[in-house]
């Protein structure tokens, strides 16, 4: 019967047309459960089997690569002469572009008592006690903070801002 084969092909073509490699791998993991009549491999725990397949080819290719190059956003998202709030390595951070193409970043943890400092154009403002920092250098403009914000190494790669170390 040709009718039995058509739904399977449609399902494969529909999922394949997404063009996502992960989707294709996911399909491979789901196909046996979806098309089986229950005659082969009734209860195969698929929770542990597909995972090594998903992370094998491209992800582990560069085992020597350090954790650099985390994409932090588009260069165009940081105004020249301004700054934005960000998150780098899971921590609150601030990114500024003092001059076109020059990007700097700092920890957003206030050196006074640890509040999260907010981007405010050419400076960073702490909402807790009013400390202000220079967005280009992280230096204290106005206390009570005494120490500058901790710098974070970043770089520009094309039109993206990436973490560097
Ligand atoms: Fe930032 Fe006090 S914690 S000014």
Residue 44 lies in a domain: no
Backbone dihedral angles phi then psi of residue 162, each to the nearest 5 degrees: -130, 155
Number of domains in the chain: 2
Rounded to a whole number of angstroms, the distance between the first and last alpha carbons of the chain is 62
Is 60 exceeded by the pLDDT of residue 39?
A: no
Q: Could you tell me if 106 and 150 are in contact, meaning their C-beta atoms sit under 8 angstroms apart?
A: yes
54-113 pLDDT per residue, tens: 333 333 333 334 345 788 999 999 999 999 999 998 999 999 999 999 999 999 999 999
Judgement on whether residues 82 and 153 belong to the same structural domain of the protein: yes
Judgement on whether residues 80 and 33 belong to the same structural domain of the protein: no
**Which domain, by its residues, includes 157?**
71-163
Q: Give the number of other Cβ atoms within 10 Å of residue 93's Cβ.
A: 25
Q: Which atom of ligand 1 sits closest to the CA of residue 145?
A: 4
Indicate the top mutation candidate among 92, 117, 118, 126 to test ligand 1's pocket, ranked by most ligand atoms within 8 A of CB: 126
Residue 2 lies in a domain: yes
CB of 111 shorter than 6 A to ligand 1? no
Judgement on whether residues 145 and 89 belong to the same structural domain of the protein: yes
Judgement on whether residues 88 and 159 belong to the same structural domain of the protein: yes
Whole-angstrom Cα distance, residue 59 to residue 47?
20
131-160 pLDDT per residue, tens: 999 999 999 999 899 999 999 999 998 899
Query: Which of these, 96, 102, 153, lies nearest to 121 by C-alpha position?
Result: 96
Residue 49 lies in a domain: no
Report DSSP letters for 56-111, one per residue.
Answer: TTTTTTTTT--S---EEEEGGGS-BTEEEEEEETTEEEEEEEEETTEEEEEE-B-T
Residue 136 lies in a domain: yes
- pLDDT band for position 51 (cuts 50, 70, 90): very low
Model's pTM, two decimal places? 0.59
Whole-angstrom Cα distance, residue 150 to residue 68?
18
CB of 113 shorter than 6 A to ligand 1? yes
CATH number of the domain within which 150 lies = 2.102.10.10
Residue 158 lies in a domain: yes
Lowest-pLDDT range of 11-15, 44-48, 93-97, 121-125: 11-15
Backbone dihedral angles phi then psi of residue 83, each to the nearest 5 degrees: -155, 165
Q: Could you tell me if 123 and 133 are in contact, meaning their C-beta atoms sit under 8 angstroms apart?
A: yes
Residue 53 lies in a domain: no
Alpha-carbon distance values, 119 to 43, 55, 123, 126 (Å)? 54, 37, 7, 9
Residue 46 lies in a domain: no
């Amino acid at each position: 019967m040709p009718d039995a084969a058509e739904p399977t092909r449609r399902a494969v073509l529909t999922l394949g047309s997404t063009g996502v490699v992960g989707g294709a791998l996911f399909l491979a993991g789901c196909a046996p459960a979806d098309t089986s009549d229950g005659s082969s491999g009734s209860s195969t725990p698929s929770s542990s089997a597909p995972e090594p397949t998903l992370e094998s080819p491209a992800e582990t290719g560069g085992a020597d690569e350090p954790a650099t190059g985390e994409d932090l956003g588009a260069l165009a998202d940081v105004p020249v002469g301004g700054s934005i709030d960000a998150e780098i390595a899971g921590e609150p951070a601030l990114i500024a572009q003092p001059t076109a193409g020059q990007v700097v970043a700092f920890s957003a943890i206030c050196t006074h008592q640890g509040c999260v400092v907010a981007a405010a154009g050419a400076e960073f403002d702490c909402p807790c006690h009013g400390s202000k920092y220079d967005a280009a250098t992280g230096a204290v403009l106005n206390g009570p903070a005494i120490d500058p914000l901790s710098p974070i190494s970043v770089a520009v790669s094309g039109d993206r801002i990436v973490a560097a170390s």
